[in-house]
Amino acid sequence: MPKQNKIEVAEVYRGALWNATMIQQMLNENGIEAYIQDEFAGIASPYTFGNLAPIKVIVNAADLEKAKAYLEDFNNNYKEGE
């Protein structure tokens, strides 16, 4: 059996789908592969799960610190409604 390479992933965000989508796009545009996890549960969330099914943005664990830096910059510069 061929050896499979396992990639460790890390969660960089947990919350609303619309925020997760913006964060994923921002990270991808800056060279960090980011993926949304539990997207379908989040879409159904208002009807079935309430706030018990937050959306997660995950990245390769090797990119976690770089992703956190972009996320911090995003949080410091983003204001709702602008």
Examine residue 53 and state whether it is found in any structural domain, yes or no.
yes
- What pTM did the predictor assign? 0.73
Domain that holds residue 19: 9-76
DSSP state of 2: P
Examine residue 81 and state whether it is found in any structural domain, yes or no.
no
Examine residue 15 and state whether it is found in any structural domain, yes or no.
yes
Examine residue 1 and state whether it is found in any structural domain, yes or no.
no
Examine residue 82 and state whether it is found in any structural domain, yes or no.
no
34 Cβ contact list (under 8 Å, min separation 6): 12, 23, 24, 27, 28, 57, 58, 59, 67
Sequential pLDDT tens for the chain (82 residues): 667 778 899 999 998 888 899 999 999 999 999 999 876 654 555 555 555 568 899 999 999 999 999 999 888 887 654 5
Looking at residue 37, which CATH number applies to its domain?
3.30.70.1530
Examine residue 3 and state whether it is found in any structural domain, yes or no.
no
